Amino acid sequence: MNAQVKSDPASLIAAGRRAIEIEGRALSALIPRLDAAFARACAICLECAGRVIVTGMGKSGHIAGKIAATLASTGTPAFFMHAAEASHGDIGMITRSDVLLALSNSGETAEVLLLIPHSSRLGVPIIAVTGNPKSALARAASVHLDVSVDEEACPLNLAPTASTTATLALGDALAVALLEARGFTPQDFARSHPGGTLGRKLLLHVADVMRSGDDLPIVSPGTVLAEGLVVMSKKGLGMCTIVEDGKLLGVFTDGDLRRVLDGRANVHAVTMREVMNSPGKRVAASELAAEAAHLMEKFRITALPVTDATGALVGALNVHDLLRAGVL
């Protein structure tokens, strides 16, 4: 190893920028290559009744794992199969209804080539992603996608850098094209990511996070303010709901209390009907919890009553409920 290390900031920044510029050129060169072959690869995946099995070795294997994960999370059933493990039993994962997406920059990776005879016997279509259109893998494939690059970002032109970036981008392009073709929606994405923030925002409804029953701060319209404040304080929602015959008439919040006190109202004489906000902001139990969060942010409030289709009070929630649910 060269004992002279260039650690000055200018050299480090220049090297980093040079690497990104090279990879940027590789991506730009890839765009016109998304042609009829790419469309055919998409059609093969859309026609697949099984799964897209993505395989590769070394750095291509790492990229294959990410591509498989992206496909699976965007509506195309897929998984990663390590090419080396395939010849030791994992090749049994391939069934007649699957598609093999094989990655190899050289197109001559021995472990990947070993999968060709088995896939051919099963009649499994092979989509080859290589940097060499004349390679054995490219020739054996049902369709070949060219990810060749003029140079790697590595100054030695050895470490897979620009080539793996191009392969990863092609995988993303394939996943996005399939996503759009399938009409994949944000709700579909959420169902694949139930533990993530997006999943919680798109799957949780107000009814899932609201408080109900004895936890609700409910008073009648004729209740004096002083008694209403006791209820509001006891329930800890930062608001009180005014209900008559089960219907929500209005809301009284901490902000309303400040305004009432500024007006020097007699809390032992004024009724909740006189000081409530009517009809007040509310949210339906059937709405997404994210919509409740949106209303709170839009109107700068911290709590909301929840009603059903008839206007009856069925629950309430505040910003802390949304935080606990992971919606905010």
Are residues 33 and 167 located together in one domain of the fold?
yes
Nearest to 143 by CA among 124, 128, 133: 128
Does 5 reside within a domain?
A: no
Residue 80's contacts (CB-CB under 8 Å, 6 or more residues apart) are 53, 54, 55, 61, 64, 65, 68, 69
Q: By the 8 A CB rule, do 285 and 312 touch?
A: no
Are residues 17 and 153 located together in one domain of the fold?
yes
Token output for 136: 């054995």
Does 56 reside within a domain?
A: yes
Are residues 217 and 314 located together in one domain of the fold?
yes
Give the Cβ contact number of residue 207 at 10 Å. Answer: 17
Q: Which residue has the tokens 């016109």?
A: 32
Q: Which residue has the tokens 């790419």?
A: 38
Residue 153's contacts (CB-CB under 8 Å, 6 or more residues apart) are 18, 19, 20, 22, 23, 159, 161, 162, 165
Does 7 reside within a domain?
A: no
What CATH number is attached to the domain comprising 256?
Answer: 3.10.580.10
Burial of 268 (C-beta count, 10 Å sphere; 0-12/13-18/19+): exposed
Are residues 17 and 154 located together in one domain of the fold?
yes
Q: Would you give the DSSP letter of residue 71?
A: H
Q: For 83-87, 96-100, 323-327, which range has the lowest pLDDT when averaged over its residues?
A: 323-327
Are residues 172 and 215 located together in one domain of the fold?
no
Burial of 192 (C-beta count, 10 Å sphere; 0-12/13-18/19+): middle
Amino acid code (one letter) for 250: G
What CATH number is attached to the domain comprising 71?
Answer: 3.40.50.10490
Report the pLDDT value the prediction gives residue 17, as an integer from 0 to 100: 96
Are residues 111 and 41 located together in one domain of the fold?
yes
Q: For 1-15, 172-186, 210-224, which range has the lowest pLDDT when averaged over its residues?
A: 1-15
135-144 confidence digits (pLDDT tens): 999 999 999 9
Are residues 134 and 247 located together in one domain of the fold?
no
Amino acid code (one letter) for 117: P
Overall domain count for the chain: 2
Report the pLDDT value the prediction gives residue 144, as an integer from 0 to 100: 98
Does 308 reside within a domain?
A: yes
Are residues 104 and 161 located together in one domain of the fold?
yes
Does 298 reside within a domain?
A: yes
Report the pLDDT value the prediction gives residue 75, as an integer from 0 to 100: 87
**How far is residue 71's CA from residue 78's CA, in Å, rounded to a whole number?**
6
Domain closes at, from 184, 214, 231: 184
**How far is residue 322's CA from residue 291's CA, in Å, rounded to a whole number?**
11
Evaluated on CA atoms 177, 28, 143, 64, the torsion sign reads negative
Does 193 reside within a domain?
A: no
Which strands make up the sheet holding 78-82, listed edge to edge? 78-82, 52-56, 99-103, 126-130, 143-146
**How far is residue 262's CA from residue 61's CA, in Å, rounded to a whole number?**
68
Does residue 160 have a cis peptide bond before it, meaning omega lies within 30 degrees of 0? no
Q: Which residues, listed in sequence order, are joined to residue 102 by a DSSP beta bridge?
A: 55, 128
Domain closes at, from 122, 149, 184: 184
Torsion angle of C-alpha atoms 317, 318, 324, 328, degrees rounded to 10: 120
Does 92 reside within a domain?
A: yes
Domain closes at, from 135, 152, 184: 184
Report the pLDDT value the prediction gives residue 198, as an integer from 0 to 100: 58
**Does residue 79 surpass a pLDDT of 90?**
yes
Are residues 142 and 215 located together in one domain of the fold?
no
3-34 confidence digits (pLDDT tens): 567 788 999 999 999 999 999 999 999 999 99
Q: By the 8 A CB rule, do 79 and 54 touch?
A: yes
Burial of 193 (C-beta count, 10 Å sphere; 0-12/13-18/19+): middle
Are residues 149 and 257 located together in one domain of the fold?
no
For a pLDDT cut of 90, what percent of the chain falls above it? Answer: 57
pTM of the predicted protein model: 0.68
Does 112 reside within a domain?
A: yes
**How far is residue 174's CA from residue 172's CA, in Å, rounded to a whole number?**
5
Q: Which residue has the tokens 């533990």?
A: 195
**How far is residue 328's CA from residue 318's CA, in Å, rounded to a whole number?**
11
Are residues 24 and 161 located together in one domain of the fold?
yes
Are residues 174 and 227 located together in one domain of the fold?
no
Structural domain harbouring 53: 12-184
231-258 confidence digits (pLDDT tens): 988 888 888 999 998 899 999 988 888 8
Q: What is the mean pLDDT of residues 308-314?
A: 90
**Does residue 194 surpass a pLDDT of 80?**
no
Which stretch of DSSP H or E encloses residue 119? helix 115-122
